[in-house]
Every structure is written in structure tokens, then in C-alpha cells.
Amino acid sequence: MHITQLNRECLLHLFSFLDKQSRKSLAKTCRVLLEVFRDPLLWSLLNFHSPAELKKDNFLVGPALKHLSICWYSERVKVCNIEDWMKNSFQKDFCNRHERTVTEFLLEVCARCPNLLSLTLSGCGHVTDDCISLLLKSCPNLRTLKLENCVRISDRTLEAVTLHGGSLRTLHVDFCRNITQAGLERVREKCPSVTLRAERSANMIPDSKPGKRLMLERASRKQVQL
């Protein structure tokens, strides 16, 4: 029996064991397998491990997507976690390209994936509060949001959770250095049904230029003296 003689359910099951690139390669062999590749039921789960993967055409993004994970830890991507005022021109150019890739992909998710249930972002240094807020509004069924080492995430994201995260049950904001204890307490107060975890976040030093840090330290010392 040839593989194309299998029914649609069997073909979908076989495709489910393949990674994204293998599915794309197999789909190029004939029309029947291409139709299986394009079946939304095949794309309820997506995992990405590098920024380059977001620009490939070996996956589909649509209403069937329920679980999305974007996690990477390469040395190059660590550049994106450097404070903006410390980056040289080469690093800024690299980060601008990376930012466009990530932002455009997440905006596509906001527009096309209203049934998303869980989102995990780790090492995504360019994800902004505005992007997460829009995602919470666009995906009202989102139950799990896990953010790790996303340096631009601040208390504005926590505020968006209290306003638009009605279905949210799990929120992780680990190693997000611009999250504050006050923001976390606000979530605990307004969203008691949400399981909140913030490993190291509120204890890390937030981003600020050296001059601003000095001013804050002086103001703090004055308050102590008074």
C-alpha cells in the first residue's frame, strides 16, 4: 500500500510525529500530502527554538493553534538582553532585525489565533508590554502565560493581566528584571485565582542609565536621613 492510500486521519497521525521541516519536505512530494500539511488540525501546537525559525514557511498559524512556545538560549540572542543604552551600533542593528521578526510573528498570532490557550516566551528580549497586552485582548481563552528572561516586560504587562486576563490561571514572570514587587502584589490582589510565580524578578536590578541610578540612590539616602 502506498502512503497516499491511507485515510486522512491516519495521514494526520503520521504527520504529527514529524518536526516542522520534515512535514514541509514530505508535503512537497505530492498534492495529497500537501493537503494534509495544510490541514489546520495538524497545527494546534508550535515550538520554536531560534529566531530564524520564525521566518520559515514550514508551519501554519491559524485558529487551530492552542499552544505556542518560543524559547531560545543561544549566545547571539543574549545580545538582545543587554540594556539598550549599553549596545554599540552593530548590536543595535542586530537587535532591530530580531525585534521586527519577533513582533511581526506575535502580531500575526494576535490576528489569527483567537483560540490560543497557552503561551511560553523565554529569552525573547524584544517582546514588549504592548505586544503582550494586545495578545491578552486578542486571545480571550488564554489560560497559561509563561515569560522568562523577557527584559522589556514590566508592570504594564501585569496591569494588562488584571484588565484582560479573565481566563488566565497560570502566570510566570521569571527573571524579568523590570517587574516590581508592587506590580506582583497588584496581580495577587486583583486576580486571586491566578497561580503567580516570579522567580528572581522583583529582586533584580531594573534597567536604568548610570546617572539615573545615582539620582535614585541619593534620593533613597535622603529619605533614610529624614
Residue 143's domain comprises 43-224
| pLDDT score recorded for residue 99 | 78
CATH classification at residue 196: 3.80.10
Provide the grid cell at 142.
488564554
Cα distance between residue 200 and residue 215, in whole Å? 24
29, 128: one domain:
no
Cα distance between residue 52 and residue 105, in whole Å? 11
**Which pTM value belongs to this model?**
0.81
8, 96: one domain:
no
26, 73: one domain:
no
Is the distance from CB of 111 to CB of 86 less than 8 angstroms? no
217, 201: one domain:
yes
| pLDDT score recorded for residue 220 | 47
The number of distinct structural domains making up the chain is 2
105, 158: one domain:
yes
211, 161: one domain:
yes
37, 62: one domain:
no
Is the distance from CB of 118 to CB of 143 less than 8 angstroms? yes
51, 88: one domain:
yes
| pLDDT score recorded for residue 97 | 67
| Residue 69 β-bridge partners | 47, 120
Over the stretch 153-164, which tens digit does the pLDDT of each residue have?
Answer: 999 999 999 999
Provide the grid cell at 130.
504592548
Phi then psi for residue 84, to 5 deg, are -55, -40
Task: Give me the DSSP letters along 151-177.
Answer: TT-BHHHHHHHHHH-TT--EEEEET-T
Provide the grid cell at 205.
536590578
Q: How many residues does the chain have?
A: 226
Provide the grid cell at 212.
539615573
| pLDDT score recorded for residue 225 | 46
66, 163: one domain:
yes
Cα distance between residue 45 and residue 118, in whole Å? 10
49, 30: one domain:
no
| pLDDT score recorded for residue 201 | 81
CATH classification at residue 37: 1.20.1280
143, 180: one domain:
yes
Give pLDDT < 50 ranges for the chain: 213-226
Name residue, grid cell 545615582.
214
62, 93: one domain:
yes
